[in-house]
Amino acid sequence: MSTVLYDNPGPRARRVNRIVGLVAVLLLAVGLFWTIRLLSQNGQLEGDLWEPFVTPRYMELLWVALVETLKAAVFAIAGAVVFGVIFGVGKLSDHRWIRWPAWLVVEFFRAVPLLMLIIFIWTLYGLQLDKSFQSLVIGLILYNGSVLAEVFRAGINALPKGQAEAAYALGMRKYQVMTSVLLPQAVKIMLPSIISQCIVALKDTSLGYTILAPGLTTEMKSFWLTFQNQLPATLVLLMLYLVVNLCLEVLARWAEKKFSGGRKLNVTAVGVLGETEDEIAAGRVRATHANTGSSHGGT
């Protein structure tokens, strides 16, 4: 194994590395021991604090809440893909009066905190409890849709110019070029980014907690209010989110390998466009040798 940072270690370097590794393992072990001691000293390992999470009656409640959360994420992504296609294509339009509003909408929703957006939508609904789920989903659609619009635009721009030119030369219309030549090819490159965005959307469903939208996080609150098991409840909540997200990440990796040959779309952050816009427009897709995996840096 060789990197820019150091040569292959010789015998002395290997010895040093082994010692450093050993020290790190020791420190980890001490940390683990200390954590367990802290947990047991404060009575957090008592069975009745954890019992609700293995009791069928309560597990069913959790399952219902998990389904609610997944539902929010699925609705959000489905809506976001539609929103993203419309505004992504809008940003590529030849007409200024379509391109600019599309640009404005996309940039605005990417720059505004999602939580503030969700709360705003909920106040428009008059803070009604039964509208909190809709508010969450609409907020997620607007935010993730704007991110996906950027992904779609970059994906279409990443295709070789010849594709569109050939299609025009065959006498296709703009609409046909987009729907039967560009989009089908671009979807392949975009798939990993779309799956990464699913992870972001799923993570953001937890924001529903602040507007009492039905879902895992809100449900967990009633758990810890009932059983006074704040630490176990929040840890189980984290585990549930981690399991689902890690599954999605594996899926994203697989899609990246299978459909886009390890290439990754280079979607710049909000506002950072100015400089790199031309590069994206020129259809440059940065292939990251580092294979950083899916970069769901959104939130």
Partner 1 sequence: MDALTENWDLILSGFGWTLRLLGASAVIALVVGTIIAVFRVSPVPVLRSIAAVYVTLFRNSPLLVLMLITFFGLPQIGITFNNDIFIKTVVTMGLYTAAFVAESLRSGINGIPLGQAEAARSLGFGFGQTMTQVVLPQAFRNVVPPLASVLIALTKNTSIAMAFGSLELTFRSKQLLNEYATDRIIIFIAIATCYIVIVEVISFGAAMLERRWRVER
From the list 204, 190, 205, 294, the residue with the least C-alpha distance to 251 is 294
Q: Any idea what DSSP says for residue 94? A: S
The number of C-alpha atoms within 13 Å of 50 and in the hemisphere containing its C-beta is 8
Q: Pick the piece of the chain touching partner 1 (CB under 8 A) from 73-81, 85-93, 112-120, 153-161.
A: 112-120
Of 86-94, 155-163, 235-243, 253-261, the segment contacting partner 1 by CB under 8 A is 235-243
CB of 240 to partner 1, least distance (A): 9
The conformational region for residue 237 under phi > 0 = left, psi -120 to 50 = alpha, else beta, is: alpha
Rounded-to-integer distance, Cα 252 and Cα 194, Å: 8
Choose which of 86, 172, 230, 263 interacts with partner 1 (CB under 8 A). Answer: 230
**Residue 187 in contact with partner 1, rule: CB under 8 A:** no
Residues in binding contact with partner 1, number by CB under 8 A: 72
Which amino acid makes up residue 129? L
Told to check if 108 binds partner 1 by CB under 8 A, we report yes
DSSP state of 52: G
In the region spanning residues 17 to 36, those forming contacts with partner 1, defined by CB under 8 A, are 17, 20-22, 24-25, 28
Smallest distance from partner 1 to CB 79, Å: 20
SS3 95: coil
HSE, CB side, 13 Å, CA atoms: give it for residue 59: 6
What part of residues 117-156 is at the interface with partner 1 (CB under 8 A)? 119-120, 123-124, 127
Compute the least distance from the CB of residue 118 to partner 1, in Å.
Answer: 10
CA pair distance 232, 56, nearest whole angstrom? 17
Q: Which of 44, 134, 163, 185 binds partner 1 (CB under 8 A)?
A: 44
What character string, x for contact with partner 1 (CB under 8 A) and - otherwise, covers 247-276?
--x------------------xxxxx-xxx
Nearest approach, Cβ of 164 to partner 1 (angstroms)? 27
Asked if 39 contacts 45 with a C-beta cutoff of 8 angstroms, the reply is yes
Residue 169 within binding range of partner 1, rule CB under 8 A: no
- CA distance linking residue 193 with residue 265, whole number of Å: 7
Whichever of 42 and 180 has its CB closer to partner 1, that residue is 42
Question: How far apart are CB 94 and partner 1 at their closest, in Å?
Answer: 27
Burial class for 197, CB neighbours closer than 10 Å (0-12, 13-18, 19+): buried
Residue in 246, 250, 281, 282 binding partner 1, rule: CB under 8 A: 246
